[in-house]
Structure 1
Amino acid sequence: MLSRLVRPISYHLLQRITQFPIPQQRYTTTSFRVLYSTLSICDDFPKKLKKFERKPLVTCINELKRRGREKRKERQKVGEIVLPSPENGLLVQKLVPIAKEIFAARSELLSSLSRLVKYIAIYSCSICGEVHVGDPPHQIRTCNVRGSLSSKEHSWVKGGIEHILPLVESFHLYDRIGRAVSHNEMLQVDRIPAIVELCIQAGVDIPEYLTRRRTFPVYCVAGRIIDFEKRFPKEISLDKDIDELGFPYKKKRLDEDTDSMEMHCDDIQAVAIRGMKAWKKMCSGASKLMEKYAVQTCGYCPEVQVGPKGHRVRNCQAYKHQMRDGQHAWQEATINDFVPPVYVYHIQDQQPNQPLVNELKRYYGMLPAVVELFSQAGAPVEKNYAHTMRVDVVVPDMDEEKLVV
């Protein structure tokens, strides 16, 4: 396409374009040949899966088949198979401090979020559930679900922490290598935040939730797990703490109210910086734990189970759940399944009281809602989010948008 001759343009847009002086012939003024482009090297936006699409596998299907063949061959052998930690029931001692740091970082993150939501508005669409951080909410017409308006405009309502940091729960297991939770036991077993369950299995002791700490490893002979250790220690009462099925009685849920963890700090930027560090520590630490401690997720719904195998509760209502009798299609989970990032629109140097418009949506970047909240409060954003922030794209004005080719 032929380039255009453009005379007056704004200064901030002129800094990001390539200028080519044209030799003067009969003109007394100097013109510039300006090349505009909407292509960006940072177009790695998160893709929303359709209802019939399955989550991508962490390990390729051929590798999973190869591992399955090896396990079947090992089961035919009568000899003992040495299991590494934590598959043998013992803790990985070098990961215990990391688990404690994650548990403390989660508490600090919730405290920071509860403080910042009082100063920065959070909006959620009552129809499609899209989230926007900041005031006023954007005017981008992306509400395209059943029951939405014909104009595809969002119906914004006030949101909270649960919209920018969704709660992912998992069944609490007393014995992580024991049997899975059945469908009839779904109401008898506690459901706690999955990040807390991962920390408990990795070495964090919480009095409200009992867990089994082995001193001797289990043995695997011909594919069967053999345990010579007592199932319940002496300090645990089978009548008060453990039911007849072997699961701990339901305890009072963890107090998610963050009033007791409220920060005594009036500097909002300092709170945002501490919250950003806690978010990074929690995500990076959880990724390290998931390399050793298995976490399962359903391939079609957001269900997560911390442990070597998924539960047998038939509560999946996703694509073709009738063919699976409501059971989940378990596969290896990723950090995005464990701590789901809710992406929102992001723009650098946004003008106050100026909403994002639909005509310029291709120039906007995206960030996780938690990171966007801390960014608007004054915390610096790390470089690993540059692929979605679109830092190499300048958002033009409405009268300049027609000059883009």
Structure 2
Amino acid sequence: MFRIRVQSISYLLELVTQNSVQTLTGCAALKHSYGWYSAGASLTELPQKLKRTERKPLVKTFNELKREARLKRKERDSVNEISLHPPDNGLLVKGLIPVAHKVLAARSELLSCVSRVANSIAIYSCRLCEEVHVGHPPHKIRTCDVPGSLTSKEHTWTRGGVEHVLPVIESFHLYDRIGRAVSHNERLEVDRIPAIVELCVQAGVDMLEHPTRRRTCPVYSVSGRIVDFEKKFPKEESLGEDIHAYGFWERKSLAHHNKSIEFNFDDLHAIAARGMEAWEAMRYEGSKLMEKYVAHTCGYCSEVQVGPKGHRVRNCQAFKHQMRDGQHAWQAATIDDIVPPVYVWHVKDFKREEPLEHSLSRYYGKLPAVVELFARAGARVDEKYTSLMREDVAVPELDEVKLVV
């Protein structure tokens, strides 16, 4: 009797399994026939903001960092002269000098295109948090969770500008890239310029308002220390006549690389297409420079220092800054730290007059604010953003939300 019951239970389980497989197969075929999901589509997780206590992901793993630290310790113990390669020895990488000029030209063209398109397409920013929305009307997704925000977590929108779509991350300008780091007492005496501009200057772009030392004799590493056999002030260089140390109260304008490019046409679509190309070129060529010219960023805040080492200015106000005496937790930076993409909610139908709803936020995609701005102006979006846009996901109507599992 017990054996018969066991056989009947196993038979019922087999029937249930077969029916569930057939049901899932039918649903998949139905979704494919109605175009809910495209074949072979791969959705990536939407970028989330880091919590206050979370650290930025490391470029290298802890094991690699420990291995490099052990090698440096061995170099200090052994008194040997090590020949360094450019740019670690203070010389320029000749093959990357044209790349640096391309990055600076792409940045100037990008700023001009963004300013032109922003005059026609509205940009909104929240007064309390860093949320940005491109297009009218702004969304109603309740993600404003900062001290002083509303209990409903709704955003308090105000009109934004280019600085919200394309924020500027500044870095201390170094006259000598291989020299000592900027100390805390020198924080007001050293000029701060955009980090992407500082990267181009160190890679070979010469600017009169931001002079830098170009070596003709390489430096060497002896017992883990940098030794410079070149004179500190060569005869062909003046003793600081062209070097101006000034702070934020006397900041010079970056005239020749921030000047706007005048377009000979008023076609918004063409301007957006050129801006999209400039955005991709600046990030792609900038990542090439960062393969050789190292930059550092704080693991908890947005501070960036372009160069082989971070500065020693104690102005970090992030998580557990008291334990570090205000110093930054330096780690290797990426192109996203120097040119941060501000992600905004992507709207599929640009002509819709209804804002995005909070209950449907799981069906919406995201795009960098610059890409979304140019896409609204008619520029073509690159295929690498397809997984973020979620174009192949059908957004249900408000009366269909309860029916979606």
**Cα offsets for 1:335-357 (capped at 9, x unmatched):** 11111111000022244312111
Equivalence for 1:231: 232
CA distance in 1, matches of 2:125, 2:184: 34
Match in the other structure for 2:168: 167
CA distance in structure 1 between the partners assigned to 2:184 and 2:90 by the alignment: 25
Asked if 1:332 corresponds to 2:354, the answer is no
Say if 1:242 and 1:248, in contact at 8 Å, map to a contact too.
Answer: no
Q: Secondary structure at the match of 2:119?
A: coil
1:307 matched to which residue of 2? 307
1:17 aligns to 2:31 (yes or no)? yes
Q: What percentage of aligned pairs have identical amino acids?
A: 63
Q: Indicate whether 1:385 and 2:385 are aligned.
A: yes
**Cα shift at 1:259:** 6.2
The equivalent residue for 1:276 is 276
Give 1:53 shift: 0.9
Q: CA deviation at 1:16?
A: 8.0
- Residue matched to 1:24: none
1:136 deviates by 0.8
Structure 1 residue runs of 5 or longer lacking an equivalent are 4-14, 21-33
Question: What per-residue deviation string (whole Å, max 9, x for no partner) do you get for residues 70-115 of structure 1?
Answer: 1111122222101111000011111111100000000000000110
Per the alignment, do residues 35 and 240 of structure 1 end up closer, same or farther by CA in structure 2, a change over 3 Å counting?
closer
Contact 2:211/2:243 (CA < 8 Å) preserved in 1? no
Shift of the 239–101 alpha-carbon distance from structure 1 to 2, 3 Å rule, reads closer
Select the structure that is richer in helix. 2
User: Partners of 1:278 and 1:43 in 2: how far apart?
Assistant: 25
Change (3 A) 1:259 1:252: closer
- Cα distance, 1:221 vs structure 2: 1.3
**Equivalent pair of 2:141/2:361 in contact (CA under 8 Å):** yes
* 5+ long unaligned stretches in structure 2: 1-15, 21-28
Matches within 5 A, 1:336-347: 336-347=336-347
1:383 partner letter: E
| 1:100-131 residue CA offsets vs partner (Å, 9 max, x unmatched) | 00000000000001101100000001011200
Aligned with 1:225: secondary structure?
A: strand
TM-score by length of 2: 0.87
Q: Give the aligned partner of residue 320 of structure 1.
A: 320
- Secondary structure at 2:168's aligned position in 1? coil
Provide the rounded CA distance (Å) in 1 between the counterparts of 2:242 and 2:187.
18
User: Are 1:295 and 2:295 counterparts?
Assistant: yes
2:68 aligned residue: 67
How far, CA to CA, are the matches of 2:345 and 2:59 in structure 1? 27
SS of alignment partner, residue 400 of structure 1:
helix
Q: Secondary structure at the match of 1:399?
A: helix
- The structure-2 alpha-carbon separation of the partners of 1:216 and 1:45, relative to structure 1 and needing over 3 Å to count, comes to same
Partner of 1:114: 115
Q: Distance in 2 between matches of 1:171 and 1:266?
A: 38
Contact 1:91 1:202 survives alignment (8 Å): yes
Instruction: Look up the equivalent residue of 2:225 and give its one-letter code.
Output: R
* Shift of residue 239, structure 1, vs aligned partner: 5.2
How many corresponding residue pairs?
Answer: 376
Q: 1:87 to 1:272 in 2, by over 3 A?
A: same
In 2, the alpha carbon distance for the partners of 1:16 and 1:151 equals 38
Q: Which amino acid aligns with 1:319?
A: F
Matched residues in 2 for 1:203 and 1:276: separation? 25
Q: Kindly indicate whether the alpha-carbon contact (under 8 Å) linking 2:276 and 2:371 is maintained by their aligned counterparts in 1.
A: yes
Kindly provide the CA deviation profile for residues 19-41 of structure 1, in whole angstroms up to 9, marking residues without a partner as x.
59xxxxxxxxxxxxx999xxx83
Q: 1:171-320 maps to which residues of 2 (within 5 A)?
A: 171-234=172-235, 236-238=237-239, 240-242=241-243, 252-255=252-255, 260-320=260-320
- Quick one: distance in 1 between partners of 2:118 and 2:86? 41
Secondary structure (helix, strand or coil) at the match of 2:149 reads coil
What letter matches 1:17 in structure 2?
A: K
* Whole-angstrom CA distance in 2 between matches of 1:251 and 1:126: 27
Q: 1:16 to 1:355 in 2, by over 3 A?
A: farther
Which of 173-182 and 71-80 deviates more?
71-80
Deviation at 1:362, TM superposition (A): 1.0
Q: Is the 8 A contact 2:83 2:221 kept in 1?
A: yes
CA–CA separation in structure 1 for the residues paired with 2:257 and 2:159: 19
Measure how far apart 1:235 and its partner are: 5.2
Which amino acid in the other structure matches residue 50 of structure 2? L
- Which AA in structure 2 matches 1:375? A
**What code does the residue aligned with 1:230 have?**
K
Secondary structure of the 2:399 match is coil
Alpha-carbon RMSD across the aligned residues, in angstroms, is 2.5
Which residue type is aligned with residue 31 of structure 2?
I
CA shift in 2, pair 1:325/1:110, >3 Å: same
Letter in 2 for 1:336: D
Question: Displacement of 1:231 after TM fit?
Answer: 2.7
Distance 1:257 1:118 in 2: 22
SS in 2 for 1:385: helix
> 1:354: which partner in 2?
354
1:18, 1:319 → 2: CA distance?
47
- Establish whether residue 86 from structure 1 lines up as the match of residue 87 from structure 2: yes
The 3 A distance-change label for structure 1 pair 260 and 16 is farther
